[in-house]
A and B are shown apart, each in its own frame.
Chain A
Amino acid sequence: MSITTRSNKEATRREVDRAIRSGGGDWRPLAFQGLLLLALITSFGILVVLLTDIVTNAWPTIQARGFSFVTDGLSLNPETAGVFTGIIGSVIIASIVALLAFPIGISAAVYLEEYAPDNRRTRFVDTTVRNLAGVPSIVYGLLGLAMFVPLVRMIGLGGSTGGKNILAAGITMAALVLPIVIITSIEAIRSVPATIREAGFGVGATQWEVIRSHVMPSALPGILTGTVLTLARAFGETAPLLVIGVATGYFAPAGDASILDRLTGPYTALPVIVFSWSRQTQAAFADTLAPAAIVVLLIVLFLLNGAAIWLRNRAEKRW
C-alpha cells in the first residue's frame, strides 16, 4: 500500500469522522425536548397533588369504616353513611347504557360505514354525529327532562317520581354516549384493511358475510375499547342527572318495595353522592365522606379502564 493512498484514507477518515459526529452547538432541539418534558411533569404533577389531597382527606373514613363504607346505604349520620345506594344506581344506569347505546350505536356505525351511499346526506349525518359528541352533557340533561322523563311516564313506568327515575336517567345517559359509541365504532371499522374485505368478496361472500365474518371480528378490539370507556363516562357524569331530577337528598325505600317500585322510585348515583355530600353543612360529610366517595368512584373508573385494556389485548392476541 502506498503512502499516498494511506494518507488519502486518513484524510477521508477524518472527514467522515467530522461529518458523522454531532455538531453540538444547536440548543433548540434540547430546549424543545425540555419543554415537552415540562408539559408532562406539569400535568402529572397536578394529578399527583389532586390524588394525594383526596386520599389524605378520605383516609380517616377509609380507616374507620373500611369496606362497610361501600356496603352501607345512605344515612344522615356520618358514622354510618355509605355509598352503596349510589353504586347500585350507577350500575343500573351503566347497564341501561350498555343495553341501549351499544347495540344501537354499533349498528348505526355499521350502517354508516358499510351500507350508506357515500353522498352528501351521509356525510352530513357523519359530521352531525361527531358534533353531537362534543355537546356539553348538561344539554343532554335538558333533552332528558324534555323527552325521556315524559316518555318514561307515558309508557307507564313513571312510578312515584312521575318519570324522574333511573330509567329516564339511563336513557339520557345512553343518548349522551351514543355519538361516542358510533364514532369509535366507525373508526374501528374503518381501520379494517381493505384487503380483508377484498379477500372475502373474492371467495364469493355476500356483503353481510364479509361484515359478519371478517370486518366485525377485526374491528371488535377497537369497538370494545371505545364502548367500555363510554361506560366509564356513564359512571362519572353528574350534570345531566341533576337536571333530570336525581335525588340528592336521602331516601330509604321500604324494605318490602317491589323491584318495579324501586326502579321507578327515587334514585341516586355515585357521582351525585359526591356532589351532595360536598355541599352538606355537617362538616364530616364534606371533609372526609365526600373524598372517600371520590376514591370509590375513581377505583371503579380505573377498573373500567383496566377492563377496556384487557379486553383489547385479549381480542387482539387471537391472531
Chain B
Amino acid sequence: MSDRSPNDAVSGESALFDGAARAPEVDAARVTGGSPDNTHDVIISLEDVDVYYGDFHAVDSVSVPIREKEITAFIGPSGCGKSTVLRTINRMNDLIPTARVEGSVTYHGVDLYGGNVDPVQVRRHIGMVFQKPNPFPKSIYDNISFGPKIAKYDGNMDDLVEESLNRAALWDEVKDKLDDSAYALSGGQQQRLCIARAIATSPDVLLMDEPASALDPIATLRIEELMYELKQDYTIIIVTHNMQQAARVSDRTAFFNIDIQNGQRAGRLVEFSETATLFTTPSEKTTEDYITGRFG
C-alpha cells in the first residue's frame, strides 16, 4: 500500500468546488487514488451476479473481485444498479420481497447465499453506511452501543463508544453530549455517527452507498479523510456519483452502465480496473465518455 497521507488524498480540493452537476472532466493530475500494489488478497468475490426485482432484470452478470483493505469505488449513471450490487454483498436485498439474486457472492471463499447462512451474521461482518444519514431516534451513545449490545459485546461499552466515535472523527464534537438526541447533530455529524455505528460492531468490510451525497464539501472532505484512515483496517466499497471522489479515494473502480438489449434495460459492469488506469487510460469508449462528461 502506498504511503499517501489523507491530505494528499484530498489534494484535488478545488475540484470539489467547481460545482458541475455531473461528470466534469477528471484530468490525470487530479487522480490521486488508484495505484494499488496488488499485495492484498481478494476478500469478496462477485461472480456472474444477476439481480431481479420481480420480472425486472436489474443487474446482469456482474463479476467483481474486492480486495482486502482497499477502497473499491462503484460509479455509473443513475439506475445502473450500483446500489443493487452493493446490497447483494450484505444481503440487504433480502429485505425487498421481490428481489432475487443469482450467481455467486463469496466472502473469504464462503458462499454468502449458501444454505444455513444467516443474513444477520453476514451483516455483522459486512457493515453498511447509507446514502442519507439514518441515525436511530435515540441518544448518540445508544446509537453506537445498539449494534455491540445485540452482538453480546462483553467489553467495556463506554470505551467502545469512545473508540468508535474517535475513529469516525466525531468524538471531540460530541463527547459532552452523548446523551443528547442523535437528531440534534448536523447532517455531516450524523453521517459520521452512522459510520461510527457501523464500525462499532467491528465488521471486516464497510459498504458505503453514496455516503457523502447529502453533505456539503467540507463534510464530504472529512468523510473522505476518514475513509482513508479506515482503509488501514477495513475493506471499503463506496458507491459515488462524484467522479473526483472516486478518483481521489479509491484504489480500484468499477464502472457500471445501463445496457439496452432487445429493448430490455439491465445494469452491466463495463470496466473494472485500478482507479488510475480507469481514469486516465480507460479501455472502453463508454467509460471514457462517462468520466469526461461526454455521456449520453
| Docked complex Cα distance between A31 and B257 (Å) | 55
- A205:B130 contact, CB within 8 angstroms: no
- The one of A204, A214, A217 in contact with B120, judged by C-beta atoms closer than 8 angstroms, is A204
Q: A198-B95, A209-B150, A213-B146 are in contact. Are A203 and B197 (CB under 8 A)?
A: yes
* Interface residues in A195-241 (C-beta closer than 8 Å to B): 195-206, 209, 213-214, 217-218
CB-defined contacts of B121 to chain A, threshold 8 Å: 204
- The one of A204, A218, A319 in contact with B183, judged by C-beta atoms closer than 8 angstroms, is A319
- Give, as a whole number of angstroms, the nearest-CB distance from B27 to chain A: 36
Is the C-beta of A118 less than 8 angstroms from some C-beta in chain B? Answer: yes
Give the total number of A-B pairs whose CB atoms are below 8 A apart. 70
| Docked complex Cα distance between A196 and B129 (Å) | 12
- The one of B95, B137, B150 in contact with A196, judged by C-beta atoms closer than 8 angstroms, is B137
| Docked complex Cα distance between A158 and B54 (Å) | 56
In this complex, the interface size class of chain B, counting residues with CB under 8 Å from chain A, is 20 to 34
CB-defined contacts of A203 to chain B, threshold 8 Å: 123-124, 127, 146-147, 150, 197-198, 200-201
- A205:B150 contact, CB within 8 angstroms: yes
- B150:A202 contact, CB within 8 angstroms: no
CB-defined contacts of B183 to chain A, threshold 8 Å: 319
- B92:A202 contact, CB within 8 angstroms: yes
| Docked complex Cα distance between A197 and B128 (Å) | 13
- Give, as a whole number of angstroms, the nearest-CB distance from A291 to chain B: 47
| Docked complex Cα distance between A303 and B181 (Å) | 31
- The one of A193, A204, A319 in contact with B138, judged by C-beta atoms closer than 8 angstroms, is A319
- B146:A195 contact, CB within 8 angstroms: no
| Docked complex Cα distance between A206 and B146 (Å) | 12
- Give, as a whole number of angstroms, the nearest-CB distance from A66 to chain B: 47
| Docked complex Cα distance between A213 and B151 (Å) | 14
| Docked complex Cα distance between A209 and B149 (Å) | 11
| Docked complex Cα distance between A118 and B200 (Å) | 34
Closest chain A residue, CB of each to CB of B91: A201
Q: Mark A109-121, 1 if CB is under 8 A from B, else 0.
A: 0000000011000
CB-defined contacts of B95 to chain A, threshold 8 Å: 197-198, 201
The residues of A with any CB-CB pair to B shorter than 8 Å are 117-118, 193, 195-206, 209, 213-214, 217-218, 319
What would be 17 A-B contacts, judged by CB atoms less than 8 Å apart? A117-B97, A195-B134, A196-B134, A196-B136, A199-B135, A201-B92, A201-B120, A202-B90, A202-B123, A202-B128, A202-B130, A203-B123, A203-B124, A203-B198, A206-B150, A214-B136, A319-B138
